Structure 1
Amino acid sequence: MLETYRSDYAEQIARLTDLRDRRIELAFAAVPRENFLPAPPWTTISSGIATQTSSLADIYDNVLIAIDRKRGINNGEPALHADWLDAVSPQPGETVIHVGAGTGYYTAILAHLVEPGGRVEAYEYEADLAAKAEQNLSGYSNLTVHAGSAFGQSLPPADVIYVNAGVVAPDVEWLKALKDGGRLIFPWQPEKGWGPTVLVKRLPHGFSAAPLMTVGFISCSGTKEKAAPKQRLIETDLSSVRSLWLTSDRSPDANAVAVYEQVWFSSQAIEG
C-alpha cells in the first residue's frame, strides 16, 4: 500500500508540473516522505488551511507539512520542488550544493538524481534540523550534511546550487562555486516573504538570470547581506532581470535593476 501511495503521489506531481525529466518522478516515488517528518499526527497545509492527520495517504499529496510551525519551517510543496528540479536538471555524476536542507527530504531526492557517481553537499544552519537531517540521511553514501551556514565561505565546485531559503541577494561564493554551465536556483526576496524564483546559469561571458514563478520562503539564517536598492523594487523590476554580475567583475551600469555590495542584477541579457 505504501508503494502505491508513493507512486500515485509521484504521478500526481509529474502531472501538476508537466515534468520533462521522468527521473524526477521516479525519485519522488523512491523516497519515503514520512522518514523526514516529525512523528504523527502531522499538520498538512494547503491554500493556507492547516489540517492534522495521522494518515500516510494524506502526506502523499501536494501539500506543505509542518516541521516546526512556531518557526515557520515546513517540508515544502512537492510540485514547486519538482518544477525547480526540472529547471536545474541535476544529472548523474554531478555535484549539488543544497542550501537550507531542513530535515533532508529534498536532499534525498537530489541524491537520487545525481546517482551514479554524483554527490550532494547539504548545508543547514539550524543545529537541530542539521542533526535530524544527518540522522535521516544516514543511509545515503553520496552526501554530507554540514551543520552551519553556506554563506560567506568557500564552497566546493558545483554543477547545481539549490537554495531553499529566501535571500535578499545571492551570496557571491555561490556564484564563484558554479562550474562552467552550472545552475543556481534560489528565492530572491528583496522584500521579505515573497519574490521570484531566479534561475542562474554560468555562461562563458557571465551569469544569465531568469525569473520564474513567485514563491514565499522562510528567510535564510546566517546571512549578512543588506537591501541596498534605494527604491523599493516592484514586480516589473523583478521580472525584467536577465543577468547577474559580480561587482568585482563589472560595475553597475544603466541597465542595473538592483545593486548590492557584491552582486547586481541587470535587465540586459548576456551576449553570445
Structure 2
Amino acid sequence: MVISRDSASAEAMRGTLVDALRRHGIVSGEPVEEALRAVPRHLFVPGVPLPRAYGHEAITAHRDESGTTLSALPEPGLVAAMLDQLDVRPGHRVLEIGTGTGYTAALLARLAGPEGRVTSVDILPGAVAVARRGLARAGYGHVETAVADGLLGHAERAPYDRVLVSAGAWDLPPAWADQLAPGGVLVAPLRLRGVTRSVAFTRRDGVWRGRAALSCAPLPLRGPGEVAEHRVVLGDPPVLRLRTDDDRTLDAAALESALDGPETLVWTGVRPPGGESHLDLHLAALPECCRVLPDLDAVRAGLLTAALHPWGGPGAATADSFAYLTRRGIGTSAELGVSAHGPDAPALADLLTTRVRTWHTTRHHTLHINAHPPNTPLPDATWTIPKHHTTIALHLTPPPPTPLPTPKP
C-alpha cells in the first residue's frame, strides 16, 4: 500500500472533515463515521492539494472533449448521507453502479469488512482504470471493478444485499430488482424532471418502496438506455441556463426572445422552506418543470431577478416562455416569489404561484417516494411521474394530530 501523501497533515484534515460532517448531522452512524476516518480520500485524487482533497466540494476526475464532467470524486457530505441510507453490514455483498474515482467503493469495502464483497462497475474505461489505481494505493485492491453498463447491473456476482447507485438515475431498470437479494436495499439518486432525491428503496410485491429521501445533485448516470438531461443557454454572453429532463428539449432561440420583454414578478405571501424539502417536487409534478439558473453577473447588472438559491432553482418553461422561483427579505419576513418572462409569463407565474401556495398547506407533511410497475393506477398518490420501467408515486402524509392535554383532576 502506497501512503506517501497520507501524512499527519492529511490525517488531521480528514479528522476535521469528518468532525464537521458529524457536527452538522450529516453522519449519524458510527460505522460510516469510522469508514470516513479510515479511508484516505486524497489517494483517489493524486496531485490535488490536500486542503482541496479534504474540502466539502466535489472534484472533477474526467471530462469529455467539450469540458463536460463525466466522473468526479463526490462531495463527502453526499457520500456520507447515502452510506447512512444504505446501511451496509459486515459480510454484505455490495454492488456499486458508477465507480468514479473508487473512493466510495473503498468506503463500502471498509463497511462490508473482510467477509463481505464489493463489486463496482462503470461504463467509462478510463474511470475504472483510475479507480483501480486509487484502490490499490489506499489498500483496497481486493475490490472488484469492471467496465460495464450499470443499467444492466452486474449479474455475474448477483445477488447483492446492497446496491448503491452513485449517479443520478432517470429510472429503476429491471436488472436492479432481479439482482437484489430478498430483504436487500437499493439506494439511488432518482431524477424527477430536474429534481433529484436519493432514496433508499426496498422491494416488496413488485413495488420499490422508498424511505429516507434526501436532496442531492450528482452527475447523471450514463449508458445507452439512460435518458439524458438537456441544457439550454440563453444569451451571449450567457444570461440564463435551463436544464430539462424526460428527453424534453427546449428551443434556445425562441426562449431568448423572452429575455427581451418585461418581467412578470409575483409575490406569493409564502415564506421560503426551512427544513421542509419537497417544494421543488410540487413543481416537478408539472410537465413544464425545469431547473433555472440565472447568471450571477446578469443578476448583478439588474437584467434578471435572482433565483431562489445561488445554484438555481425550480421553474417551468413552455416553447417561448419561462418562470422560476425567487425570494425577498430575510428571516421571518422572507417571501417566495415568481419571476416570469415571455408571452406565457402571466400564465406561468399563476401556475407556479398556485403550486407554492398549495405546498405551503402541506409543508409539514412527510414525503414518501415509491416506484410501481408502469401504467399502474395509483389513485392514492399525490402525484405520479411516468417512466419507462416504473411509475413513480409521490405521497405526502400529514403529521399525526397533536394530542390534547390531559385535564388535571
TM-score class, shorter: 0.7 to 0.9
Q: CA deviation at 1:154?
A: 5.5
Q: Secondary structure at the match of 1:68?
A: strand
The equivalent of 2:37 in structure 1 is 29
Which whole-Å CA distance do the structure 2 matches of 1:229 and 1:13 have between them? 36
Q: CA deviation at 1:124?
A: 1.0
Q: Secondary structure at the match of 2:391?
A: strand
The alpha-carbon distance between structure 1 residues 154 and 35, as it changes in their structure 2 partners (threshold 3 A), is closer
Amino acid corresponding to residue 195 of structure 1 in structure 2: T
Check the 8 A contact 2:121/2:154 in 1, yes or no: no
Q: CA deviation at 1:141?
A: 5.3
Which sections of structure 2, spanning at least 5 residues, go unmatched?
1-7, 228-244, 249-279, 286-365, 397-409
Which whole-Å CA distance do the structure 1 matches of 2:103 and 2:196 have between them? 23
The equivalent of 2:110 in structure 1 is 112
Q: CA deviation at 1:78?
A: 0.5
Check the 8 A contact 1:131/1:147 in 2, yes or no: no
For 1:118-173, what per-residue CA distance to the aligned partner results, in whole angstroms no more than 9, with x for missing partners? Answer: 11110111111111112222342542001121223563111111111112112221
1:133 to 131, 134, 137: 131
Check the 8 A contact 2:367/2:394 in 1, yes or no: yes
Check the 8 A contact 2:45/2:53 in 1, yes or no: no
The equivalent of 1:258 in structure 2 is 385
The equivalent of 2:253 in structure 1 is none
The equivalent of 1:163 in structure 2 is 165
The equivalent of 1:84 in structure 2 is 82
Residue range with higher mean Cα deviation, 82-91 or 17-26: 17-26
Q: How does 1:51-90 map to 2 (within 5 A)?
A: 54=49, 56-68=50-62, 70-72=67-69, 73-90=71-88
Which whole-Å CA distance do the structure 2 matches of 1:16 and 1:109 have between them? 20
Check the 8 A contact 2:206/2:373 in 1, yes or no: no
Q: CA deviation at 1:268?
A: 6.4
Q: CA deviation at 1:33?
A: 1.2
For 1:160-189, what per-residue CA distance to the aligned partner results, in whole angstroms no more than 9, with x for missing partners? Answer: 111111121122211221222211111111
Is 1:235 the equivalent of 2:281? yes
Check the 8 A contact 1:229/1:258 in 2, yes or no: no
The alpha-carbon distance between structure 1 residues 242 and 6, as it changes in their structure 2 partners (threshold 3 A), is closer
Which whole-Å CA distance do the structure 2 matches of 1:259 and 1:229 have between them? 13
Check the 8 A contact 2:201/2:209 in 1, yes or no: yes
Which whole-Å CA distance do the structure 1 matches of 2:73 and 2:281 have between them? 27
Q: TM-score of the superposition, structure 1-length normalised?
A: 0.80
Residue range with higher mean Cα deviation, 179-188 or 10-19: 10-19
For 1:193-213, what per-residue CA distance to the aligned partner results, in whole angstroms no more than 9, with x for missing partners? Answer: x42222211246742123622
The alpha-carbon distance between structure 1 residues 19 and 211, as it changes in their structure 2 partners (threshold 3 A), is closer
Q: CA RMSD in A?
A: 2.7
Q: CA deviation at 1:60?
A: 1.7
Which sections of structure 1, spanning at least 5 residues, go unmatched?
43-53
Which whole-Å CA distance do the structure 2 matches of 1:13 and 1:190 have between them? 27
Q: Secondary structure at the match of 1:109?
A: helix
The alpha-carbon distance between structure 1 residues 142 and 119, as it changes in their structure 2 partners (threshold 3 A), is farther
Which whole-Å CA distance do the structure 1 matches of 2:129 and 2:224 have between them? 20
The alpha-carbon distance between structure 1 residues 195 and 75, as it changes in their structure 2 partners (threshold 3 A), is same
Percent identity for Structure 1 against Structure 2:
23
The equivalent of 1:148 in structure 2 is 148
Which whole-Å CA distance do the structure 2 matches of 1:60 and 1:228 have between them? 35
The alpha-carbon distance between structure 1 residues 158 and 209, as it changes in their structure 2 partners (threshold 3 A), is same
Amino acid corresponding to residue 197 of structure 2 in structure 1: P
